[in-house]
Structure 1
Amino acid sequence: MKRDELAEHFVELNFMPQDACRWLAPSELRTLGAQTLSQIFGSYADKRELQKVFDSNLITIPAHGEELAEGEPLWFDYTADVGDGFEATYTVAALLAQDELSVEGLGELLPRGRMLVLGGDEVYPRANTKAYEDRTVGPYRAAMPWATPQPLMLALPGNHDWYDGLTAFLRLFTQDRMIGGWRTEQKRSYFTVQLPHRWWLVGLDSQLDSYFDDPQLRYFESTLTANLQPGDSVIVCAATPAWLKSSSGEPDAFNGLEWFERNFVTSRKVPGGLDPEPTGAQVRLWLSGDKHHYMRFAEKLQPGEAPDVARQMVTCGLGGAYLDTTHELAEELQLLPAESRNWREGDDEVAFVQQPVTYPSMEQSRAWVNRLALPWRPEWLVRRNPGVFTVFALTHFLIFLFLLLIFWQGIQAKNNGRIIDAYISARPPTLLRFIGGLLAVVLLAFVICLLPKLRGRPPLLSVKAMVLASSQLVTGCACFVGFGLLPADTFGPLAAWLTFFIVIVAVSVIGGVIGAFFLGIWIVVYMSKGLTAWAMMGQAIEEGKGFLRLRLDPDGSLTIYPIVTEKLVRDYEISDKMVLTSSGRFTKIPVPAEPVPTPRLIEQPFRVLPTPRT
């Protein structure tokens, strides 16, 4: 059975399998408003300040009572942006859950990770208890209802987790609950994990890119900074890849992460002293999601240096949400440019270079963005977001009534005719003069809106908004004139009111289709001016999901395997066996009626060597 059929058994499953979010549908556009409100009120409802009453636990892997055999590597996983459509989320979870994962082109089986790090946005579109249960807990419980030993699950909140002030996130991930076969251990919305072979993993909660709260900083001082030794290596997980903005007109974008590295990793305060002391440790790997693609930046090295010594910055947000673009990002990043407020005299100008393999590829990314505006494609705006047609149909219905009222009052009222008769019996020159005059007035209004640009100020209305408004107004005017030019007896002996009803329905349908078509073109044309994400979120591409599997070897080297699958599990059955949920209830689970797809590598595994020990 398919997902929609599976959803009919939600009582047996104890969750409702969800369709992928249709981000440009009217019902989901409310999320944009929720995001704005969460940013406005986030500082007033910042639950991080309250977390100081929670335990301040340092997590260790392997857990107490577990040991690695001599020479055995530690495996763990990273994914982000999960909890969207059921098929995508379940497929990723099913691959993560396999005892041994077979990967195309790889001559070895990859053991399941002892730890799974969720790097942000654990649910879409808005965080609440039911959404987590339906979009995250349910699919992960179905993919691995039990496991021995139980791998650890850690979660970092992203902007979507913050939409309810972090209430549901803290209830799910910080109270020692089981999520299927995964156990949770963290006590706060951030964490420090001590790994073998002098590696550390840190999860930062920057609360909608605002700041690091004092309880969080004190937590990292005690669990991380105080324990660092010369030669230690650190992995930092951030909710957003701030480094991507640092070379695109935002020189301060990386300041927060750079400040954390400078003050909590590479140096620490000395009690009673003014100057910090160096720790000898270094951030060797930065991980993030938020952008739903795979992209890697490696530190620019001097000639002759081995690639393994380069620090790495990896974005991998392929855990479930729509696929994003890769072709408009900078080829080289200056993380701390001279324009940055954090820059100090003597700071090194560290550069990171984009690596050639991305997912989706640059060529795919360029080609895919245009599909939103192509009506013959299944990814067309209206096909993927049906509510868009309804909005534009209603918009053009209202535009038609507005034009009709102005036309009747300004042109035909002197004849004391009825409004419907005035329109149906209007002569072509009268209609054309009316529309020409109206468009001239609108054009004059747009010119007035642009006048401030002559003085170097922003226009009263953005050019983008004027272009979109013009496309809809011209469409509405064309429909008004086009149907007004039809002969009065076009629909035979029908009464005038019935003829008018047919006309207004036709205007709504045609206007809805053409209006949505122009919206798709507008998004694609202006995607380089802040609408790039819209061009992809409107398509809601579910395929192309994956994660990182990491191997930490006894010699201290870290190997990263970037994994993706273009196929999803879309056919299911309901198991006969009952499983016990974390809430103490027994439930059934969906199981694949087809083989779980075999994933492939996005690029060949790459190594990160530990911090040099001097």
Structure 2
Amino acid sequence: MSEIPVEAKNRVSIDRPAAVGWFSLRLLAATGVKALVNSLIGTQTGRRELLAALDNGPDSKAPFPRDGTLHLKDTVWVDYVADIGDGFDATHSVAWLIGRDYLFLKEPGEPVPQPLLEQPNVEPDADGGPPESLALPRADLLIFGGDQVYPYATQADYQSRTFQPYYAARPWGSCDPHAPDDDPGGRPLFVIPGNHDWYDGLISFVRLFCQFDPRRWIGAWYVQQPRSYFSIMLPHGWWIWGVDVASEDDIDPPQLAYFQAQAHRMGPDDRVVLCTAKPAWVECADRSDSDGEETLLSEAWNRLAKIAKLANDGGVPVFLSGDLHHYARHDGADGKQYITCGGGGAFTLGTTMQPEKLRIDEDQTAARKCEFPSIEESKAMRTGAFAMVRRHKLFCAALGCVMLYLLWLFQTSSHGPSADAASRTAAPFLTVVRSSLGDGLWRLVSILVTSPTTTTVFAVILAGFWGFASSGAKRGGARWKSLLLGFFHFLVQIGAAILSAILAAAVLDLIVSGGLLRDLLLPVIAIGLTTLFCGLAFGTYLFFANAAFGWHEQEVFSSQAIQDWKCFLRMKIDKDGLTIYPIGLRKVVTTWKPTLPAEHAPRPNAMGRAVARIFASDTFAVPKGATHLFSPAEALQPHLIEKPIVISRGIEVQEITGLAGSLAKVPEVTTT
């Protein structure tokens, strides 16, 4: 190992935030407001049109990179990763693998321990992996496929959740300690925004990623795109197009004109890998008899297909997207590949809702060939929803308090004079109604009729349950189903609150005879019990709705914040065509050892490990030639999700066989 000189050190702080808690009360409120604002004005801000107007130079329609080097190479390696900036452990585990000089793999499904790197400027060569492993060289180009940060776009979260994990994974491109100060041996990075990047109208995204001059660095990677979409010319007639569909599957006129110009640059046999932030092809399988819903889903695909059709006839053999936090591949009857790969760091989403068959249009279908995690593994994961109380205590407590408040309103209203007045008005009619409904339901109806406050609160809470059920319903589902399921959930929560109140009173009757102490303890115990029972009821509802109807897939998995089961793609383009290596990581690393002396930021010592973890931060003096700031305490063990797919320029799909053995140490793999 060469000694790293002490001069030219960059002082860098690396935060290590915990995974986003999607049921945090503050986050729910803030995200809801931002989503509402984005839905109202997000794509109306004209941000993309403004970028296009500013990028009006003589080479504004030229493909990237503008230095014109990648398409001159004989072989180019490309990494694709999407849905990235969440908790440090998951994001950095993927970034750490992407940042290495070589990635070692074996047969599909076989985890391969990667070398542990104790020194900050040492990278193993192609022979440094486990025996009989395949060494894939580092990528020449990195693509972020959407949703670069969670929960929403702010410059602070971009820095702590995305930029810093990638900087720590690869501060310098080469191990040369004498590299020039203005060139850390970097590689180009291209980015398309997802819906989370659009939550602020694309403001932060533009500031951080759409700065061509001067060049903006993220560790060993640099951005050079002036717009939120791009076209990259690669060797042997291959291109990569990155499309910005905004948050409403919208493609603006300047973007359409841009890709029309790119299509005119293509040769007659050129091929395009089309990247988008939303897998519109998956929605094609969710059509229903509802005309409005079918039109919406068809339009999402039609807008993307409009870009694809600009290429030569049949010139888009591969569609890539993230958004759904797992890996799934559908193989079209015409040989086209539809790949969803959104495992860059965000919470894992199960694959149970991935359709077996897509209908791309009236005469084209695609069959599901592979998914990660598997369907059975995904079904097992959703049982974690029962642990709602353990993971989200404040949310469950707030839910319980809301239900107790509603019970309190019913209780106080039932003793008020208005309820008695109601029974004296229209007595003959009300007598008939009361005999039909029974005393309990009659009391409820009379309270709602005679107490405006109770009625209003009741209606608002019930509407909230209906709205929540509707938001988690499958596309195209009948509205009455969501109303019925929402009302059922509401009744279950009311029942949980009643049970909590009864148990609280029973417990106090055993330990306190009465008086002020009982009055003070009753709400405390009742809130504690409703936190438990209402939280358990909420988790049970999520599990039941997902298992029985396929609803609330996002909520079932976001409530668990599963960090494992990550994935990304490494692709090779050479004279034989395009080879796609789908790479999975079943378990991320949660303990990292600094490879340089680190100054640890103060951590709260009286608030528990969970709170301390949120504020974890380290400061490093990073010298030239440092290739990583952390080493995993235990080896990361990625694996091939499935056999690599080879697509020739004629869109003929093949599979690589025999990865081990004679091909184990050959970085430039060819088909057999």
Instruction: Work out whether the TM-score is over 0.5.
Output: yes
**3-state SS in 1 of match to 2:162:** helix
Structure 1, residues 321-368: CA drift from partner, whole Å, max 9, x if none? 01112122221111123xxxxxxxxxxx1111111x210101111221
Query: Residue 114 of structure 2 corresponds to which residue in structure 1?
Result: none
In structure 2, give the amino acid aligned to 1:192: S
Per the normalisation by structure 2, the TM-score is 0.72
358, 364, 372: which is aligned to 1:333?
A: 358
Query: Residue 562 of structure 1 corresponds to which residue in structure 2?
Result: 582
Per the normalisation by structure 1, the TM-score is 0.79
Structure 1, residues 277-300: CA drift from partner, whole Å, max 9, x if none? xxx561010000000010001111
Give the Cα separation in 2 of the matches to 1:125 and 1:545.
18
Query: Residue 145 of structure 2 corresponds to which residue in structure 1?
Result: 119
Query: Residue 171 of structure 2 corresponds to which residue in structure 1?
Result: 145
Give the Cα separation in 2 of the matches to 1:82 and 1:64.
28
**3-state SS in 2 of match to 1:597:** coil
Q: Which shifted more, 434-443 or 28-37?
A: 434-443
Give the Cα separation in 1 of the matches to 2:564 and 2:344.
11
**3-state SS in 2 of match to 1:567:** coil
Give the Cα separation in 1 of the matches to 2:226 and 2:508.
74
Query: Residue 367 of structure 1 corresponds to which residue in structure 2?
Result: 380
Deviation, structure 1 residue 160: 0.2
Structure 1, residues 83-136: CA drift from partner, whole Å, max 9, x if none? 000000001000000001112437320000000111000000010110100100
342, 364, 377: which is aligned to 1:317?
A: 342
Structure 1, residues 410-440: CA drift from partner, whole Å, max 9, x if none? 79999xxxxxxxxxxxxxxxxxx98665567
392, 401, 421: which is aligned to 2:399?
A: 392
Structure 1, residues 374-425: CA drift from partner, whole Å, max 9, x if none? xxxxxx22223333223124224423532442354379999xxxxxxxxxxx
Structure 1, residues 233-284: CA drift from partner, whole Å, max 9, x if none? 111001100000112114513111112222x213xxxxxxxxxxxxx56101
In structure 1, give the amino acid aligned to 2:37: L
Structure 1, residues 7-50: CA drift from partner, whole Å, max 9, x if none? xxxx9753432111121232332324422321111133130111
Aligned residues: percent identity?
29
Give the Cα separation in 2 of the matches to 1:135 and 1:549.
22
Give the Cα separation in 2 of the matches to 1:460 and 1:45.
36
Does residue 470 of structure 1 match 2:491? yes
Query: Residue 320 of structure 2 corresponds to which residue in structure 1?
Result: 287
**3-state SS in 1 of match to 2:317:** strand
Is the contact made by 2:595 and 2:631 (CA closer than 8 Å) also made in structure 1? no
Give the Cα separation in 2 of the matches to 1:460 and 1:233.
45
Deviation, structure 1 residue 473: 1.3
Give the Cα separation in 2 of the matches to 1:12 and 1:394.
48
Unaligned residue ranges in structure 2 (runs of 5+):
1-9, 108-131, 175-184, 288-293, 422-437, 450-454, 467-477, 600-618, 623-627, 653-672
Give the Cα separation in 2 of the matches to 1:13 and 1:239.
31
Give the Cα separation in 1 of the matches to 2:508 and 2:394.
33
Is the contact made by 1:68 and 1:74 (CA closer than 8 Å) also made in structure 2? no
Is the contact made by 1:91 and 1:596 (CA closer than 8 Å) also made in structure 2? no
Query: Residue 331 of structure 2 corresponds to which residue in structure 1?
Result: 298
Give the Cα separation in 1 of the matches to 2:69 and 2:486.
61
Q: How does 1:153-232 map to 2 (within 5 A)?
A: 153-175=189-211, 176-222=215-261, 224-232=262-270
Give the Cα separation in 1 of the matches to 2:482 and 2:319.
40
Relative contact order: is structure 1 or structure 2 higher (C-alpha 8 Å, sep ≥ 6)? 2
Is the contact made by 1:58 and 1:194 (CA closer than 8 Å) also made in structure 2? no
Is the contact made by 2:90 and 2:563 (CA closer than 8 Å) also made in structure 1? yes
Query: Residue 92 of structure 1 corresponds to which residue in structure 2?
Result: 94
Give the Cα separation in 2 of the matches to 1:609 and 1:66.
19
365, 372, 379: which is aligned to 1:351?
A: 365
Give the Cα separation in 2 of the matches to 1:460 and 1:354.
28
Query: Residue 41 of structure 1 corresponds to which residue in structure 2?
Result: 41
Structure 1, residues 498-553: CA drift from partner, whole Å, max 9, x if none? 11221211111111111011111111222335412111111111011121000112
Query: Residue 58 of structure 1 corresponds to which residue in structure 2?
Result: 62
Is the contact made by 1:241 and 1:288 (CA closer than 8 Å) also made in structure 2? yes
Give the Cα separation in 2 of the matches to 1:459 and 1:612.
45
Is the contact made by 1:122 and 1:136 (CA closer than 8 Å) also made in structure 2? yes
In structure 1, give the amino acid aligned to 2:554: A
Count of aligned pairs: 528
Deviation, structure 1 residue 479: 3.1
Give the Cα separation in 1 of the matches to 2:231 and 2:279.
19
Q: How does 1:204-283 map to 2 (within 5 A)?
A: 204-222=243-261, 224-249=262-287, 250=294, 252=298, 253-262=300-309, 264-266=310-312, 280=313, 282-283=315-316
Structure 1, residues 460-519: CA drift from partner, whole Å, max 9, x if none? 99223212211121222233344456785x3345x5121122121111111111101111
604, 610, 613: which is aligned to 2:649?
A: 610
Is the contact made by 1:231 and 1:612 (CA closer than 8 Å) also made in structure 2? no
In structure 2, give the amino acid aligned to 1:157: P
Give the Cα separation in 1 of the matches to 2:482 and 2:251.
36
Q: Which shifted more, 129-138 or 360-369?
A: 360-369
In structure 1, give the amino acid aligned to 2:281: W
In structure 2, give the amino acid aligned to 1:358: E
Structure 1 residues 513 and 118, CA gap change in structure 2 (3 angstroms): same
**3-state SS in 1 of match to 2:206:** helix
Give the Cα separation in 2 of the matches to 1:84 and 1:35.
18
Unaligned residue ranges in structure 1 (runs of 5+):
1-10, 267-279, 302-309, 338-348, 374-379, 415-432, 451-456, 580-584
Structure 1 residues 461 and 245, CA gap change in structure 2 (3 angstroms): closer
Structure 1 residues 65 and 117, CA gap change in structure 2 (3 angstroms): closer
Is the contact made by 1:25 and 1:387 (CA closer than 8 Å) also made in structure 2? yes
Does residue 102 of structure 1 match 2:115? no
Does residue 132 of structure 1 match 2:158? yes
Give the Cα separation in 2 of the matches to 1:58 and 1:81.
28
Query: Residue 6 of structure 1 corresponds to which residue in structure 2?
Result: none
Does residue 599 of structure 1 match 2:638? yes
Query: Residue 526 of structure 1 corresponds to which residue in structure 2?
Result: 545
**3-state SS in 2 of match to 1:193:** strand
Query: Residue 19 of structure 1 corresponds to which residue in structure 2?
Result: 18
Give the Cα separation in 2 of the matches to 1:486 and 1:578.
53
Structure 1 residues 171 and 296, CA gap change in structure 2 (3 angstroms): same
In structure 2, give the amino acid aligned to 1:297: H
In structure 2, give the amino acid aligned to 1:479: S
Query: Residue 419 of structure 1 corresponds to which residue in structure 2?
Result: none
Is the contact made by 2:397 and 2:527 (CA closer than 8 Å) also made in structure 1? no
Q: How does 1:531-546 map to 2 (within 5 A)?
A: 531-546=552-567
What root-mean-square deviation, in Å, do the aligned CA atoms of Structure 1 and Structure 2 show? Answer: 3.3
Is the contact made by 1:58 and 1:193 (CA closer than 8 Å) also made in structure 2? no
Query: Residue 491 of structure 1 corresponds to which residue in structure 2?
Result: 511
Is the contact made by 2:273 and 2:317 (CA closer than 8 Å) also made in structure 1? yes
487, 495, 506: which is aligned to 2:525?
A: 506
Structure 1, residues 175-218: CA drift from partner, whole Å, max 9, x if none? 13000110111111000000100011100001113421111112
Give the Cα separation in 2 of the matches to 1:164 and 1:41.
10
Give the Cα separation in 2 of the matches to 1:407 and 1:487.
23
Give the Cα separation in 1 of the matches to 2:274 and 2:172.
29
Is the contact made by 2:325 and 2:347 (CA closer than 8 Å) also made in structure 1? yes
Q: Which shifted more, 536-545 or 519-528?
A: 519-528
In structure 1, give the amino acid aligned to 2:141: M
Is the contact made by 1:397 and 1:504 (CA closer than 8 Å) also made in structure 2? no
**3-state SS in 2 of match to 1:243:** helix
Structure 1 residues 485 and 407, CA gap change in structure 2 (3 angstroms): farther
Is the contact made by 2:76 and 2:140 (CA closer than 8 Å) also made in structure 1? yes
